[in-house]
Amino acid sequence: MKILFIGDVTGKPGLLFVKDRLPQLISEFHPDLVIANAENSAVNGRGITASSVEYLYDCGVEILTLGNHVWDQREALGVIQADERIVRPANLPPGVPGRGYTVCRVAGRSVAIISLIGRTFMGLADCPFRAIDQIFSQLDPAIKHIFIDFHGEATSEKLALGFYVDGRASVVVGTHTHVQTADERILPKGTGYLTDVGMTGPRDGILGMKREVVIRRFLDQMPARFEVADGPRQFSAVLAVLDDQGSARSMERIYIAE
């Protein structure tokens, strides 16, 4: 089974670049499942909207994961609640809308897609390690193909979670830093791992935002409204190939600069 996962699609440039490049990748790699982290897919780069979600589906994305920007748009609440193809971090406080994982049928098999969020250098959340144990205890043991998007800042926390679920999950990829790491590997017990997939959107901004505004904020520490950057774009993704038992056979990092 081949799963193509696209890192944080950011703003309108990110959406347009997915439309531009995803068809080529689909015809080159023939993925059985295409997942994208959509937490920045609203046109202004903050959260999701009904139209950013529909746009990604039209491009060929089938499942969407989220992160710390989950509630940035008012309309996201209803969208997340209604759509089983959208997964928000599972370790948010109990009772919040939406789902922390979803199960879909792919190539005759069930695949679980799970979203988790980190706690190191990030906002408040419940423990992602205990949350994943809880999900494993709920999942049908017949499900062997398990994909985790761990949305976090710290490489240590991401690596720790990767090793924590090694042999229990098929893939753990990180998102949130918007910068792709070069450490794709298969962990000793068969989990495919990459610390951060990187961002799909404007390449010459700072994490996709106009750099002048970000630099100004570092200098004067005044509140500032970040805007999505213009200019050349990048596409960041990873292709995970899994065997019938759900172990990773390969992890191929994809980075396309415009």
> Is 145 one of the annotated binding-site residues?
no
Least distance CB 94 / Fe ion (angstroms): 22
Least distance CB 67 / Fe ion (angstroms): 4
Q: How many residues belong to the site for Fe ion (CB under 5 A)?
A: 6
Closer to Fe ion by CB, 100 or 246: give it.
100
Decide if residue 157 touches Fe ion (CB under 5 A): no
Residue 99: CB atoms within 10 A of its CB come to: 17
Decide if residue 205 touches Fe ion (CB under 5 A): no
Note every long-range contact of 202-205, with CB atoms under 8 Å and residues 24 or more positions apart, other chains counting. Answer: 202/10, 202/11, 202/13, 202/14, 202/228, 202/229, 202/230, 202/231, 202/232, 202/233, 202/234, 203/231, 203/232, 203/233, 203/234, 203/257, 203/258, 204/229, 204/231, 204/232, 205/229, 205/231
Partners of 34 in the beta sheet?
4
Is residue 30 part of the annotated active site? The answer reads no
Decide if residue 176 touches Fe ion (CB under 5 A): yes
Decide if residue 236 touches Fe ion (CB under 5 A): no
Closer to Fe ion by CB, 1 or 207: give it.
207
> Is 30 one of the annotated binding-site residues?
no
Of 69, 88, 145, 210, the catalytic one is 69
> Is 37 one of the annotated binding-site residues?
no
Least distance CB 152 / Fe ion (angstroms): 9
Answer left, alpha or beta for residue 112, where phi above 0 means left and psi between -120 and 50 means alpha. beta
Residues near 62 by Cβ (< 8 Å), separated by ≥ 6?
33, 34, 35, 85, 104
Map the footprint of Fe ion across residues 8-67, applying CB under 5 A: 8, 39-40, 67
Q: How far is CA 103 from CA 29, 89, 135, in A?
A: 23, 15, 12
Closer to Fe ion by CB, 37 or 145: give it.
37
> Is 40 one of the annotated binding-site residues?
yes
Decide if residue 68 touches Fe ion (CB under 5 A): yes
Three-class SS of residue 121? coil
The residues carrying an active-site annotation are 69
Indicate the annotated binding residues: 8, 39-40, 68, 151, 176, 178
Residues forming the site for Fe ion (CB under 5 A): 8, 39-40, 67-68, 176
Binding residues for Fe cation: 8, 39-40, 68, 151, 176, 178
